[in-house]
Amino acid sequence: MKASSEAASESGDGQRPSPGASAPTVAIRGLSKRYGGVQALVDMHLEVGRGHVHAVVGENGAGKSTLMKILSGVHPYGTYSGEVVFDGELCSFSGIRDSEARGVVIIHQELALVPQLSIAENLFLGNEIAQRGMIDWNRTNHEAEQHLRRVGLRENPTIARVSSGSASSSSSRSPRHCPRRSGC
């Protein structure tokens, strides 16, 4: 991926953002990333305004995932050149915890779901709701159900129905209940 011209942008209401209308929420300047002998990103520039929707489009190997990995701290600060500025502040993420703390959340191309765990456990993996070192399963399951309903799903969150490849393909599988969880 070589230049900002490869990134198309539209605002959420379908209108083109007016350039310079306001400071960009995310500004990517001169971003380059190399994996050994492979130059994945070359001097990339992109500005994203608040409320605007962008699509990064490119052929296989163009560098889309590399860009997302830099934005989300998977590739930490110092492993690439150029800069990523978020709300006017230079990002120097050392990992995904840092990027999540700044509100950057990535849905990765390769889903990292654990088929043995329930829907609720997968949803809160790494962000468990706990009190005094104990996971609050009632709250976990309740909040998972609320999140599912927000996107029109009426699945039982205490059931394992996910697969690592595709969540939708798992719907034909027999659901497995999780006996050790309260509320199962």
Residue ranges in contact with ligand ATP by CB under 6 A: 35, 38, 40, 58, 60-66, 109
Nearest to 47 by CA among 27, 75, 30: 27
Q: Considering the complex, what minimum distance in angstroms separates the CB of residue 60 from ligand ATP? A: 4
* Among 11, 65, 163, 170, contact with Mg ion (rule: CB under 5 A): 65
Give the integer Cα–Cα distance in Å for 38 and 41: 9
Q: Is 4 a residue that touches Mg ion (CB under 5 A)? A: no
Stretch that binds Mg ion, among 101-109, 119-127, 135-143, 168-176 (CB under 5 A): 101-109
Q: Considering the complex, what minimum distance in angstroms separates the CB of residue 184 from ligand ATP? A: 37
Torsion angles phi and psi, residue 80, rounded to 5: -145, 165
Q: Is 170 a residue that touches Mg ion (CB under 5 A)? A: no
Region of 73 please: left (phi>0), alpha (psi -120 to 50) or beta: left
Q: Considering the complex, what minimum distance in angstroms separates the CB of residue 36 from ligand ATP? A: 6
Residues that bind Mg ion (CB under 5 A): 64-65, 109
